[in-house]
A and B are shown apart, each in its own frame.
Chain A
């Protein structure tokens, strides 16, 4: 059972560096999600692991074997493509069994394996159809099935859900989450959708501009983002960022700016005190803002005054899109919270939900 290890991986297209010195370790049977904005090099990384793209430097080890010079067929991998990449001239059964037939698997066994996987994905009734006669969701399952019938040791997924409509995507995401518990293999999954990443991953690797920004469990990344990029990328609605100044000292140390005053949480005080600059970036999750009445005021709890622009109703919760000293701020509140448009509204800020970043390096403090 393989353990995948990527060391100093690089990729240049022409003179343009797309992947810079990527190091990544994946334990056996781990579901790793590479997530990042479009164009950050996720697909390129995955394709290098698959052997569809040459590396420009570095090593790829799968199960104690350096594979970067090997053909895809010698790497023992299966892959699901973003556009499904089904063979248009073969029916579903033949699409799924292509690799087994090439490998000379006995027909009885092929039939049995195709049937088992097809039933698992509920496409058993489609086996004789050509891809052109399938819906998007069905094609997606066939692509998944083609990878699963193989007994490969590593499964690669390149945005397998991104071509589905929202409802089907949610449904398939849930099915994938169930399936990945059943199929105990090493899986690497690429997506630009942080919700997919959060729900599926054992470990998330956040990429940006060809570099790994941070890796860890979904909870790690959500609670302890390493920098402003990760903080803004993980979580929905995304984290608010406000620039402010440090003032006061000791237990009165706080971040203040136009319309807000938030005490620095005790754990972070030491780090603040020996900073040379007073400027600081503060990140607050929309869910860490609680509406409070004008009269209530507790100096231990921070407060921020926002002007509500619009309210986005999403059910039990509403997202209030507000403004604060020229900066956009969103707050996630219970839908029955009363509010008046374009009137100032006070929110309490839970200091535990506050993240601080260096305005120069954007690293978390």
Chain B
């Protein structure tokens, strides 16, 4: 029979966890619950919340019928995958290049991670200036070289690319520092063993460094992916989603629905859709990774028996 003492012992961790759980519940679950509740209602800012009218799935129906929403989803996916792929490739490559003990390297590394520390609003303002098609530095430089001026933010085709460049500029450092940390914690003697075994610099990267860095790279890429679905400020300042809907990613669309169109119910529904998309992609990648590891393990076990 369990004594009082045992029961108390078993309860202790929950007692200690309780305050944190409570804060989590209030700070995390309440808004989500509120947003779900709101997504089934019609309500605009200013009116008392009690005046919200229940309309069932109407918000979702309207949204999923709206071609603009689908366009926005497409822009979001293109943006998110493009920035993650480019940032991971660049960040890892930079880490590999800068992982050496040369005098002054630490200064160099610090400069490289500066963009990450700049507030998104400021990043947006900086790039809006850089991209300015009358007097921005890019335009001036192109003109000085006698090259045609690029309509950075004003053309349908170019705007999304420009926005991606700005995001890559800000967030490549994130992948870079995590990759660098991963590189510097690699077992030094295994790298020496590879040199003795006859691996060239490039072969060491390919067969030893990258495989050993992979867990860190995967997590960093996932964090970036989740974050890329939520960017708002930089794009808002650069293009406000335009021209047309060329750069109107979902979070921007939600923002406009909520504060320009004043349809909070519909905005909530849309943010729930975004949440589902992000969760689906994250879970899919996570499961894919798990399955791959599992099948590798099973293959090894099968060979071991054979």
A residues contacting B by CB (< 8 A) are 50-52, 71-73, 77-79, 81, 83-89, 91, 98-99, 102-103, 127-130, 146, 150
Contacts and interface: CB of A to CB of B under 8 A. Distances in A.
B217 to A, nearest CB: 13
B47 to A, nearest CB: 60
Given A51-B195, A86-B193, 17 more contacts: A52-B196, A71-B195, A72-B192, A73-B195, A73-B196, A73-B198, A73-B199, A85-B190, A87-B194, A88-B190, A98-B207, A99-B197, A102-B197, A102-B198, A103-B198, A128-B303, A128-B304
A149 to B, nearest CB: 10
Interface in B283-304: 300-301, 303-304
B198 to A, nearest CB: 4
A98 B194 contact: yes
B190 to A, nearest CB: 5
A87 B208 contact: yes
A229 B303 CA distance: 54
A80 to B, nearest CB: 9
Nearest to A147: B196
Contacts of B190: 85-88
A102 B208 CA distance: 12
Interface in B197-223: 197-200, 203, 207-208, 211-212
Nearest to B188: A85
Contacts, number: 66
Given A81-B189, A85-B189, A98-B207, A52 B195 contact: yes
Contact of A85 (B192, B203, B212): B192
Nearest to B304: A128
B196 A91 contact: no
B46 interface: no
Q: Please classify the interface of chain B as helix (H, G, I), strand (E, B), loop, or mixed, using the class held by over half of its residues.
A: helix
Given A128-B300, A128-B303, A88 B197 contact: no
B104 interface: no
A84 B211 CA distance: 19
B48 interface: no
Contacts of A84: 189
Contact of B196 (A79, A83, A128): A79
Contacts of A127: 304
A129 B304 contact: yes
Given A81-B189, A81-B192, A91 B300 contact: yes
Nearest to B208: A87
B146 interface: no
21 contacts: A50-B196, A52-B192, A71-B195, A72-B196, A73-B196, A73-B199, A78-B196, A84-B189, A85-B190, A85-B192, A85-B193, A87-B194, A87-B208, A98-B207, A99-B196, A99-B197, A99-B198, A102-B203, A128-B300, A130-B300, A146-B197
Contact of A89 (B197, B211, B301, B304): B211
Contacts of A50: 196
B148 interface: no
Contacts of B199: 73, 98, 102
Contacts of B304: 127-129
Interface in B143-194: 187, 189-190, 192-194
Most chain A CB atoms below 10 A, which of B189, B193, B194, B208: B193
A140 B252 CA distance: 58
B187 A88 contact: yes
Contacts of A146: 193, 197
Contacts of B207: 98
Query: Could you say which of A78, A84, A85 has the most chain B C-beta atoms within 10 Å of its C-beta?
Result: A85
A340 B200 CA distance: 67
Contacts of A99: 196-198
B205 to A, nearest CB: 13
A89 B197 CA distance: 16
Contacts of A103: 198
